[in-house]
Amino acid sequence: MKKINLYILLFGISFIFILCSCEKEDDLKISEKKTQRFDLPQGNHDFDEQIVEWYNDYETAVLYKFSNADINYHFTSSSNDVNYDVKVEADEKGIRAAVKFLKEDFFDLYSDKVKKELFPSKILMAGMLYQNGNYVPLWDTISYGNLSFRKGVLVRGVDHITLPHVDKELGERISKPEYRKRLKIAINRTFIQFLMQPYDDVITKIDYNNILNTFSTYSLISEDAKSGTTNPYSSDNLWYTEEDIYKLGFLEYGTYWYFWEPYYWTAPDLNNDFYSFLGFIFSQTKSELQANPLYTNYPQIQKKCDYLVEAFAKYGIDLYCVGGKE
């Protein structure tokens, strides 16, 4: 009987301990830019002055010395199943080029309010970064999405965006206009992704669900869709004429079925549709976009572009800023 009572007592203590731990976890607020956990500057180089200025002004720490724990922090084990291993620190010459790139193609594009309230707490720079035990290091960007419509992004986490390949040749690579444009679009796409797909709702900064839901209302269902189709992003929303992709308000398709006739296309998923429009806006100036035949000739595409520009403007984000000043 005494043993039974002892087991009950130990179980009760354990239950109380777990309950208290859960309450403390619920109170965690890593997204707030308040606690300085890093010593800045991290060196005595010409670029360190800019890094310190960014932290003093916006509380975003640009770091080239950090641990795996800084890049892999998750709220829970299910928050993100990707882990990274920094094998080589960023190269000094590469850091200098990266800081210049960050200033001109990221920081300078946004208002002080956006940088203070919406920017991640950390921007990390790794020299050689590996993903989940992969034996091949990451390149400057990571591609994802439909094979016919690949999109480049950088590494991101709960509170950071990371440049994964800051080596001594980075400056030479981004000196090429097309390469730099691609990297510029990638880092700004990753920033929007950071806002639109937070790893946990406790770090939500914008009403991303409302943006996506409203954006989706401008997508149409084809007359050729399977009977009963109500979701424009269903694979049952299909069409047989190539141009219909634009008439329905899409810039990319989900699947192209060409094994036997009749050939047909299906709708993309919502996220790919959203980021295809983001890239469309980012890749050109405002006047170029508004003169683009896809924008002028297809009402649904125009509506989706205009809505996204308007929706992000409410948070102080000018989506035209990436395409270049006029």
H or E stretch at 181: helix 177-196
Question: Model pTM?
Answer: 0.85
26 pLDDT above the threshold of 80: no
- Mean of pLDDT values over 30-38: 55
Cα dist from 174 to 101, 122, 177, whole Å: 8, 22, 7
7 pLDDT above the threshold of 90: no
Three-state DSSP at 244 gives helix
Cβ atoms of residues 92 and 45 within 8 Å: yes
Summarised one tens digit per residue, pLDDT across range 264-278 is 999 999 999 999 999
Summarised one tens digit per residue, pLDDT across range 241-258 is 999 999 999 999 999 998
What integer best gives the mean pLDDT of the chain? 87
Question: What pLDDT is stored for residue 124 in this prediction?
Answer: 97
146 pLDDT above the threshold of 80: no
Region of residue 129 (left: phi > 0; alpha: psi -120 to 50; beta: else):
beta
Question: What pLDDT is stored for residue 270 in this prediction?
Answer: 97
Summarised one tens digit per residue, pLDDT across range 295-311 is 999 999 999 999 999 99
Question: What pLDDT is stored for residue 131 in this prediction?
Answer: 87
Residue with tokens 């329905």: 248
Contacts of residue 280, defined as CB under 8 A and 6 or more positions apart, other chains included, come to 251, 289, 294, 305
Cβ atoms of residues 241 and 269 within 8 Å: no
Q: Count the residues in the chain.
A: 326
Question: What pLDDT is stored for residue 119 in this prediction?
Answer: 97
Burial 224-243 (b: 16+ CB within 10 A, else e): ebeeebeebbbebbbbeeee
Greater confidence, 15 or 110? 110
Question: What pLDDT is stored for residue 178 in this prediction?
Answer: 94
28 pLDDT above the threshold of 50: no
User: pLDDT category, 279, cuts 50, 70, 90?
Assistant: very high
- Mean of pLDDT values over 200-207: 87
Radius of gyration of the chain (CA): 23
Share of the chain above pLDDT 70, in %: 85
Question: What pLDDT is stored for residue 243 in this prediction?
Answer: 94
Summarised one tens digit per residue, pLDDT across range 44-86 is 999 999 999 999 999 999 999 999 988 988 755 444 556 899 9
Cβ atoms of residues 94 and 168 within 8 Å: yes
- Mean of pLDDT values over 184-196: 97
User: pLDDT category, 21, cuts 50, 70, 90?
Assistant: very low
